[in-house]
Amino acid sequence: MAIEYQYKAKNKEGDLISGTIEAENKSVIARQLRDKGYYITEISEKRKALDVGEFLKMHKKVKLKNLAVFSQQFAAMIDAGISLVDSLNILVDQTEHRRLREVILKVRDDVETGVSLADAMAKHPAVFPQLYIQLVKAGESGGVLDRILNKLADHYDRQDELNSMVRSALYYPAVILTVGIIVVIFLVTQVVPQFVTMFQDFGSELPLPTRMLLAISTFMQSYWWALLLAFIIVLFILGRFRGTPAGKEKTDSWILKMPVIGPMMRKVYISRFSSTLAILVESGVDLLTALAIVEDVVGNKVYGEILTKARVRVREGSNLSDPLQESGEFPAMVVQMISVGEETGAIGTMLNKVSTFYDRQVEASVDGAISLIEPVMIVLLAVMVGFVAISIVTPMFDMFQQF
């Protein structure tokens, strides 16, 4: 895919010239200009006018599924004997994700100039995480890049599936509750006021639920902007608090203590820890480097701090299982399997077994969480809508009884 570049150069007479050329990369342009006898001073990609749609596409996050598909295709090409540069060229045409395609182009340009694949990917940490870079480096040094890429594809597929299950458990109650709140707000602000005049003309004292509902309705109609502003401020404060190291550790600790959600998320973190550490160790990455990567991948500050302390202890000569056991956040079964793996030299195998076991546990926890949350949501919505219905119907019955 051709890209438009701007160039500045000096001709044989020493005059400064500039212009634009479409080419696949900078090296093609440099070769063309040198053939004309020009001395190149600058080559840069031409900036286009800001397009909101293009901007959003370029900054769209590269998801785990995108990395999994990219790795599968890359592995198939390497296994077929296609060179790195040719493989990357093909991937540029096959990749639909705009941001990932642009990054592959830059990686290809670097590889063409002699940079290793891992080092070229390391220039784009927002797309290729440390786990990916370290494993690619191990695959290049061991001559097993295709096997490593297949492992990465399986790993990211597995993580994407796990994340999807968790999202289904978390989004379901959130959507139901949001719909319920919208319905109640509609009833309170649009339906209830229709009855206000009728109730006031009735003249008798209204029941307590009706008076409460009328007060809520009046307040929401008069001060809806204040409620919206307060909601935005609370979200902003929580976001800022979550953005601090202490805030992230505190909120991550709260997540682990939440009923139903806490035990499920604990299993997710343990599965993520064990599967990531397994693929790193089995690919030849040393344990200390592997632990440093897992600290960031695990996704919970509490577990990240435990792994940081564990890495220090391992560096001092301790077994990995000892600090994990002392933390109290890892189940005895996990600690025992890691301990057996350390003694037998098969820690990667044991970690894979732990990960497989906890993947099943997460699936069961998601089903259990949904089955528990669903009736709670139904009862909550029934109480909210029921309160509105009773508040409206009760004075109407009183009116009918007087006629």
DSSP string, 201-213: HH-SPPPHHHHHH
Residues 27 and 77 in one domain: no
In this predicted structure, what is the pLDDT of residue 63?
87
Q: Does residue 372 fall inside a structural domain?
A: yes
In this predicted structure, what is the pLDDT of residue 2?
56
CB-based contacts of 209, cutoff 8 Å, min separation 6:
387, 390, 391, 394
Residues 11 and 152 in one domain: no
d(CA 170, CA 166): 6
Q: At what angle do helices 208-243 and 192-202 cross, to 10 degrees?
A: 150
Q: At what angle do helices 245-257 and 261-282 cross, to 10 degrees?
A: 110
Residues 176 and 91 in one domain: no
Q: Does residue 383 fall inside a structural domain?
A: yes
Residues 39 and 153 in one domain: no
In this predicted structure, what is the pLDDT of residue 202?
64
CB contact at 8 A, 117 and 28: no
Residues 36 and 77 in one domain: no
Q: Does residue 141 fall inside a structural domain?
A: no
Q: Is 37 exposed, middle or buried (CB count within 10 Å of its CB: 0-12, 13-18, 19+)?
A: exposed
CB contact at 8 A, 315 and 289: no
In this predicted structure, what is the pLDDT of residue 199?
67
In this predicted structure, what is the pLDDT of residue 20?
78
Residues 249 and 222 in one domain: yes
Q: Does residue 293 fall inside a structural domain?
A: yes
Number of domains in the chain: 3
Q: What is the full DSSP assignment across 316-338?
A: TT--SHHHHHHHS-S-HHHHHHH
d(CA 305, CA 292): 11
In this predicted structure, what is the pLDDT of residue 57?
47
- Intra-chain end-to-end CA distance of the chain, in Å: 82
d(CA 250, CA 374): 28
d(CA 327, CA 389): 51
pLDDT tens by residue, 202-216: 666 677 777 787 788
Task: Using the structure block, give the residue that is written with the tokens 């929580």.
Answer: 238
In this predicted structure, what is the pLDDT of residue 336?
92
The pTM of the full predicted model, rounded to 2 decimals, is 0.71
**H/E element, 102:** helix 98-112
Beta strand extents in 126-230 (DSSP E only)? none
Residues 100 and 163 in one domain: no
Distance of CA 398 to the CA centre of its chain: 55
CB-based contacts of 378, cutoff 8 Å, min separation 6:
none
**Looking at the chain, how many residues does it have?**
403
In this predicted structure, what is the pLDDT of residue 234?
92
Residues 94 and 177 in one domain: no
Residues 156 and 220 in one domain: yes
Residues 309 and 370 in one domain: yes
Q: Does residue 176 fall inside a structural domain?
A: yes
Q: Does residue 344 fall inside a structural domain?
A: yes
DSSP state of 1: -
Q: Does residue 134 fall inside a structural domain?
A: no
Copy the structure tokens of residue 285. 């990455």
Residue ranges making up the domain that contains 41: 3-47
Residues 197 and 95 in one domain: no
d(CA 266, CA 257): 9
In this predicted structure, what is the pLDDT of residue 229?
92
Q: Does residue 135 fall inside a structural domain?
A: no
Residues 250 and 364 in one domain: yes
Residue ranges in the chain modelled with pLDDT below 50: 1, 49-59
